[in-house]
């Protein structure tokens, strides 16, 4: 907002000089009117000099970034008005910009638009800054579209303000685009009416891509960066636009010495930006949970994920992309260079792992089974590292000894089925438990490894249950607890 206001004010001097050169007869008439009307031309010259060189553009009216400090300008304006009065102010306005409504429509529009915007600038908040609510009301009013387009056309602003700078939903984002289209159409119509080349209008010229760059990078629209400039800043809309237009992205990131704009390359995967944009509203709700205890906040966020499975899965995917998982598909990393990362198998595997972990599937072992499967597979046919290895590569897992031991303690689906539905169906110390172990070595091995039980298979304890001399076969009974022996 402040930058746009600065553009308006700072563009006045150059545009005024340009118009004086373009319409010498009109300004000559202004000079004559001033001499005829003002009794004391020297006094007028002093007042005029103070108005422009002290109030509007004097030292101290901008901060270290070059942005105009309107609280200072407003204070100086009040000081100037107290000294010179309303009549002198009216004389200056008339001398410079008024008195020609019926003679030159272009110059009249300068005066008309500036009067409205000046009133808009005067609405300040408690800190002396332009009032945010007034700003929003000004930009939401459709009647101000023509005024805004007028100022763009005349060079007083170099960007088009949108009614919702921080668009909160799809409707507001659509309103921004509609507004940009309306203003651009009006500007083009005026350019045709007054015979002005679009390249001479700052809004268009600042985003125009040179012909040589268009040829080098394969860009077909010389105004391709206008859409980028109109998107909300500080979010993923602008990066996504660049990545979805690779020829523009190449131009954007190629060093200036090589004909580009020299901006830094984007680090995140395009799918991360897409998820940001697609789920912007849900992200805002999730990140906006505040107040209460940490436990309460965690519960509220968990409710959001529980009630919105598509959003939950999108978060898992984004986490994988942002963590640097392989298998994210093709990714443009530099001009003319595309890296193939081997499909999305690992991304999908990670999402499945997170979903299993989230739902505690299969008695909580579902997520671990996915890791074991990939660990045993070693490498996928697509060329990407197995999920288990990728978890270490991306820093999701750090202690390999811990995870290797944990994987050794995870039962297979068959063993888990035996354990839950057969072994645990017998009472504690019932011989049925021992018989089940003796007849299922894989279950016995797991109970020794994970539950610290004494081995049964291969010992004389199993003689009664294994082979031709077996006397007892396990028969399930009503479960009566797990126990710690047999």
Question: pLDDT tens-digit profile of 435-468?
Answer: 999 999 999 999 998 888 999 998 888 888 876 5
pLDDT, residue 155, reads: 66
In the three-class reduction of DSSP (H, G, I as helix; E, B as strand; rest coil), residue 334 is classed as: strand
Read off the pLDDT of each residue in 384-389 and give the average, rounded to a whole number. 66
Q: How far is CA 382 from the centre of its chain?
A: 31
* 41: pLDDT strictly greater than 80: no
* 8: pLDDT strictly greater than 80: no
366: part of which helix (H) or strand (E)? helix 366-377
User: Phi and psi for 334 in degrees, rounded to 5?
Assistant: -165, 165
pLDDT, residue 385, reads: 45
* 85: pLDDT strictly greater than 80: yes
pLDDT, residue 226, reads: 77
Among 162-166, 256-260, 379-383, the range with the most confident prediction by mean pLDDT is 256-260
Greater pLDDT, 162 or 352 = 352
* 235: pLDDT strictly greater than 70: yes
Q: What is the mean pLDDT of the chain?
A: 74
Read off the pLDDT of each residue in 98-103 and give the average, rounded to a whole number. 43
pLDDT, residue 218, reads: 92
Greater pLDDT, 114 or 8 = 114
Greater pLDDT, 322 or 229 = 322
pLDDT, residue 78, reads: 85
Greater pLDDT, 38 or 326 = 326
- Neighbour-count burial for 126-136, b at 16+ CB within 10 Å, e otherwise: eeeebbeebbe
Greater pLDDT, 366 or 451 = 451
For 282-305, the pLDDT digits (tens) are 998 999 998 889 999 999 999 999
368 in Cβ contact with 337 (< 8 Å): no
Bridge partners of 337, per DSSP, are 334
For 302-351, the pLDDT digits (tens) are 999 999 999 999 999 999 998 888 754 433 332 233 333 344 677 887 88
230 in Cβ contact with 180 (< 8 Å): yes
* 251: pLDDT strictly greater than 70: yes
pLDDT, residue 125, reads: 73
159 in Cβ contact with 2 (< 8 Å): no
187 in Cβ contact with 203 (< 8 Å): yes
List of residues 6+ apart from 183 with CB closer than 8 A: 145, 148, 149, 152, 160
Q: How far is CA 343 from the centre of its chain?
A: 25
For 44-83, the pLDDT digits (tens) are 778 878 887 888 778 887 776 666 676 787 788 889 888 9
For 184-209, the pLDDT digits (tens) are 888 888 778 777 777 777 777 777 88
Report how far apart, in Å, the C-alpha atoms of 38 and of each of 24, 29, 48, 91, 483 are. Answer: 21, 14, 13, 8, 108
In the three-class reduction of DSSP (H, G, I as helix; E, B as strand; rest coil), residue 261 is classed as: coil
For 118-140, the pLDDT digits (tens) are 666 567 777 777 676 666 666 56
Read off the pLDDT of each residue in 374-397 and give the average, rounded to a whole number. 65
**Residue 355 in tokens:** 């979903």
List of residues 6+ apart from 62 with CB closer than 8 A: 6, 68, 69
448 in Cβ contact with 486 (< 8 Å): no
Q: To the nearest whole percent, how much of the chain has pLDDT over 70?
A: 66
CA dihedral 41, 46, 47, 53 (to 10 degrees): 140
Cα(204)–Cα(395) distance, integer angstroms: 46
Read off the pLDDT of each residue in 375-381 and give the average, rounded to a whole number. 47
Nearest CA to 163 among 133, 136, 181?
136
pLDDT, residue 59, reads: 84
Cα(8)–Cα(159) distance, integer angstroms: 10
232 in Cβ contact with 175 (< 8 Å): no
223 in Cβ contact with 204 (< 8 Å): yes
* 26: pLDDT strictly greater than 60: no
């Amino acid at each position: 907002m402040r930058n746009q206001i600065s553009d308006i004010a700072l563009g006045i001097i150059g545009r005024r000089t340009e118009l004086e050169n373009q319409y010498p007869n009109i300004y000559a008439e202004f000079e004559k009117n001033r001499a005829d009307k003002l009794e004391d031309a020297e006094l007028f010259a002093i007042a005029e000099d103070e108005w422009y060189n002290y109030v509007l553009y004097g030292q101290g009216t901008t901060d270290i970034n070059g942005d105009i400090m309107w609280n200072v300008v407003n204070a100086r304006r009040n000081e100037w008005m107290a000294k010179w009065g309303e009549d002198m102010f009216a004389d200056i306005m008339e001398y410079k910009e008024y008195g020609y409504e019926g003679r030159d429509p272009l110059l009249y529009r300068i005066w008309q638009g500036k009067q409205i915007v000046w009133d808009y600038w005067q609405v300040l908040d408690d800190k002396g800054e332009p009032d945010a609510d007034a700003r929003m009301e000004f930009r939401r009013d459709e009647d101000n579209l023509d005024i805004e387009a007028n100022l763009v056309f005349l060079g007083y602003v170099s960007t088009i303000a949108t009614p919702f700078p921080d668009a909160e939903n799809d409707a507001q984002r659509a309103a921004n685009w509609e507004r940009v289209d309306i203003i651009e159409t009006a500007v083009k119509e005026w350019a045709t009416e007054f015979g002005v080349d679009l390249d001479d209008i700052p809004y268009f010229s600042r985003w125009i891509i040179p012909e040589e760059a268009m040829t080098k990078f394969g860009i077909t629209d010389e105004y391709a960066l206008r859409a980028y400039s109109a998107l909300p800043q500080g979010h993923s809309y602008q990066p996504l636009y660049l990545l979805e237009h690779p020829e523009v992205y190449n131009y954007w990131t190629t060093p200036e010495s090589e004909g580009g704009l020299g901006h830094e390359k984007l680090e995140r995967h395009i799918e991360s930006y897409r998820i940001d944009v697609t789920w912007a509203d849900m992200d805002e709700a999730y990140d906006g949970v505040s107040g209460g205890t940490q436990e309460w906040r965690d519960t509220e966020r968990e409710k959001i994920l529980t009630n919105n499975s598509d959003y939950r899965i999108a978060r898992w995917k984004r986490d994988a992309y942002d963590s640097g998982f392989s298998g994210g598909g093709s990714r443009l990393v530099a001009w003319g260079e595309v890296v193939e990362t081997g499909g999305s198998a690992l991304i999908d595997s990670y999402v499945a792992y997170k979903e299993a972990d989230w739902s505690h599937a299969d008695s909580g072992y579902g997520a671990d089974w996915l890791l074991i499967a990939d660990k045993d597979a070693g490498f996928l046919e697509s060329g990407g590292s197995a999920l288990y290895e990728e978890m270490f590569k991306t820093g999701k897992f750090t202690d390999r000894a811990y995870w290797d031991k944990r994987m050794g303690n995870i039962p297979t689906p068959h063993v888990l089925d035996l354990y839950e539905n057969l072994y645990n169906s017998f009472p504690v110390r019932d011989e049925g438990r021992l018989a089940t172990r003796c007849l299922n070595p894989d279950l016995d091995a797991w109970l020794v490894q994970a539950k610290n039980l004494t081995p049964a298979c291969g010992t004389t304890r199993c003689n009664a249950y294994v082979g031709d001399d077996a006397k007892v076969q396990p028969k399930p009974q009503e479960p009566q607890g797990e126990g710690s022996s047999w």
